[in-house]
Structure 1
Amino acid sequence: MGYSNFGGGNNLDDSHEQLIERNPLRNVCSETVADNDHGHLKKPKINKFALICAIMASVANALLGYDIGVMSGAVIYIKDQFSISDVQVELLVGTLNIYSLFGSIAAGRSSDWIGRRYTFVIAATNFLAGALLMGLSTSYTFLMIGRFFAGIGVGFACTVAPVYTAEVAPASYRGFLTTFPEVFNNVGILLGYVSNYGFSKLPANQGWRFMLGIGAVPSVILAVGALIMPESPRWLVMQGRLADARRVLDKISDTMEESRRRLEDIKEAAGIPRDHNDVVAGQKRTTGEGVWKDLLIHPTRRVRHVLLCALGIHFFQQAIGFDTVILYSPRIFEKAGITSNNEKLLATVAMGVMKLVFVLVAMILLDKVGRRPLLLTSYAGVFVSLATLATSLTVIERDPTETVRWAVIVSVSMVLSAVAFFSIGAGPVTLVYSAEIFSLRLRAQGIGLGMVVNRVVSGAISMTFLSLYKAITIGGAFFLFAGVSVVGFVFFFLFYPETQGKTLEEIEGLFGSFVHWRSIG
Structure 2
Amino acid sequence: MAAGFSTASAKGVDFEAKITPIVIISSIMAATGGLMFGYEVGVSGGVTAMPEFLKKFFPVVYGRVEVGVDKNNYYCKYDNQGLQIFTSSLYLAGLTATFFASYTTRTLGRRPTMLIAGVFYIIGVVLNAAAQDLAMLITGRILLGCGVGFANQAVPLFLSEIAPTRIRGGLNILFQLNVTIGILFANLVNYGTAKIKGEWGWRLSLGLAGIPALLLTVGALLVTETPNSLVERGRLNEGKAVLRQIRGTVNVEPEFADLLEASRLAKEVKHPFRNLLQRRNRPHLLIAIALQVIQPLLYLEFRFLLFDYMILMP
User: TM-score when scaled to structure 2?
Assistant: 0.80
List per-residue Cα deviations over 1:457-504 (Å, max 9, x = no partner). Answer: xxxxxxxxxxxxxxxxxxxxxxxxxxxxxxxxxxxxxxxxxxxxxxxx
Offset of residue 313 of structure 1: 4.8
Q: Distance in 2 between matches of 1:227 and 1:173?
A: 24
Matched with 1:98 is 92
User: In structure 2, what residue type is equivalent to 1:134?
Assistant: N
- Change in Cα spacing, 1:308 to 1:118, as seen in structure 2 (3 Å) is farther
Whole-angstrom CA distance in 2 between matches of 1:161 and 1:61: 8
Give the aligned partner of residue 317 of structure 1: 291
Say whether residues 1:79 and 2:58 are aligned partners: no
Equivalences for 1:233-312 in 2 at 5 Å?
233-257=227-251, 259-271=252-264, 293-297=270-274, 299=275, 305-306=280-281, 309=284, 311-312=285-286
- 1:106, distance to aligned residue in structure 2 (A): 0.5
CA contact (8 A) 2:19 2:247 kept: no
Deviation at 1:235, TM superposition (A): 0.9
Count, aligned residues: 288
Change (3 A) 1:318 1:140: farther
Give yes or no for contact 2:18–2:247 (8 Å, CA) kept in 1. Answer: no
In structure 2, relative to structure 1, the CA distance for the partners of 1:262 and 1:315 (3 Å cut) is: same
1:127-276 paired onto structure 2 within 5 Å: 127-257=121-251, 259-271=252-264
Cα distance in 2, alignment partners of residues 295 and 60 from structure 1 = 26
Determine helix, strand or coil for the equivalent of 1:231: coil
| Deviation by residue 1:87-111 (Cα, 9 ceiling, x = unmatched) | 3333322221111122101010001
Gaps in structure 2 of 5+ consecutive residues: 62-77
What secondary structure sits across from 1:202 in the alignment? coil
Question: How far apart, CA to CA, are the structure 1 residues paired with 2:198 and 2:308?
Answer: 23
In 2, distance between residues paired with 1:197 and 1:67? Answer: 15
Summarize the Cα distance change of 1:315–1:233 in structure 2 as closer, same or farther, 3 Å threshold.
same
Q: Distance in 2 between matches of 1:221 and 1:323?
A: 32
Moved more, 228-237 or 216-225: 216-225
Shift of 1:120: 0.6
Distance 1:319 1:54 in 2: 29
- Identity, in percent, stands at 28
How far off is 1:76 after superposition? 0.5
2:41 — aligned with what? 68
The Cα shift of 1:269 comes to: 2.1
Unaligned runs of 5+ in 1: 21-25, 32-43, 273-287, 338-395, 403-521
Could you say if the C-alpha distance between residues 129 and 333 of structure 1 is closer, same or farther in structure 2, counting changes exceeding 3 Å? farther
CA contact (8 A) 2:116 2:147 kept: yes
Counterpart AA for 2:272: L
The 2-side partners of 1:127 and 1:170 are apart by 30
Find the residue that maps to 2:191 and give its secondary structure: helix
Distance verdict in 2 for CA 1:116–1:197, change over 3 Å: same
The equivalences for 1:1-80 within 5 A come to: 30-31=15-16, 46-77=19-50, 78-80=53-55
AA aligned opposite 1:322: P
Aligned-residue CA RMSD (Å): 3.2
Contact 1:68 1:189 in 2 (8 A): yes
Contact 2:15/2:255 (8 A) holds in 1: no
Change (3 A) 1:81 1:313: farther
Deviation at 1:47, TM superposition (A): 3.1
Deviates more, 1:63-72 or 1:259-268: 259-268
* Superimposed CA distance per residue, residues 33-55 of structure 1 (whole angstroms, 9 cap, x where no aligned partner): xxxxxxxxxxx863332122211
* TM-score when normalising by structure 1: 0.50
Q: Residue type of the partner of 1:133?
A: L
Structure-to-structure mapping, 1:453-468, within 5 angstroms: none
Secondary structure, counterpart of 1:86 in structure 2: coil
Larger relative CO (CA 8 A, sep 6+): 1 or 2?
A: 2
Q: 1:304 to 1:47 in 2, by over 3 A?
A: farther
Output the CA distance in 1 between the equivalents of 2:282 and 2:149.
19
Q: CA deviation at 1:300?
A: 8.6
